[in-house]
Structure formats: structure tokens, C-alpha cells
Amino acid sequence: MLRQYVNDAVDQAIVTLLRSEVDDDGNPLSDNHSPHDVFISIWMEFGSYIAAMLEDDRSWSIAKEKFSAKDFGHFFILSAKGYGSGFFSDDGGWGEDSLYLHDRAMTFGAPEVSIGLDGKIYI
């Protein structure tokens, strides 16, 4: 169950990353790029970090109780990039559990995205 959750969370994290970054013309990367354009090492890095984050019993308990895998991946990127949104509690505020996941995601750091000459997305 954890492996599938991580895979689904990573898929959504990549989609959210492409939507949250812009190209030189100010357009979201998702306008001209798909997850297939993301260099494989990013998938592996996100997967490793999300899996490590969820190996913590508290994180996994919160995640599976409160967030779908897609929501987790989406909120993970928003929190990691410091957008001021992300792991909100059910009432729209920052509950203790939400802050715990947010703080854990923030340790990943804000990935800086670039487009290589090969058209692939790199961080």
C-alpha cells in the first residue's frame, strides 16, 4: 500500500511542479511540457524523499488518514517550495498534524527547475 501511495504521490508532485513553474515567457511549464519531459532522476529523487518521509509512523498515519496520494503529492510540492499553502487541516487551518507534514516537506527544499537543451526538465 505504501509503495503505490508513494508512486501516486510522486506522479502528482511532478504535475504540480510543472504547473507551478513558468518558462521564460511566463507560461506554466505544463503548457508545453508533460511529466514525460521530466528527467528520470527527479522522479527517483522525489520518490526517495516522499518514501523516507512516509516511513515515519506519524507521517504515514496522518497521510493515509487525511490525504489521498494525489493530494499528498500536490501539497508536498507546495509546502516544499514555501508557497504558504500545502498541508492544511480539514478545517482549512494549520492543525498540529498539518504543520508536522509541512515542516517535513520544507526540509526537501524548493526545487529549482530548468529546461535542458534536450528539452527535458531538470532540478
What is the number of structural domains in the chain? 1
Which position has the grid cell 506554466?
A: 28
Position 95, amino acid = G
pLDDT tens readout for residues 27-48: 998 998 888 888 778 888 899 9
Distance CA 103, CA 69 (A): 18
Quote the pTM value: 0.86
Give the three cell numbers for residue 88.
492544511
**Domain encompassing residue 7:** 2-122
- Residue 119: other Cβ atoms inside 10 A: 9
Q: If pLDDT is split at 50, 70 and 90, which confidence band does 92 have?
A: low
pLDDT tens readout for residues 93-103: 668 888 899 88
What 8-state DSSP symbol labels residue 115?
E
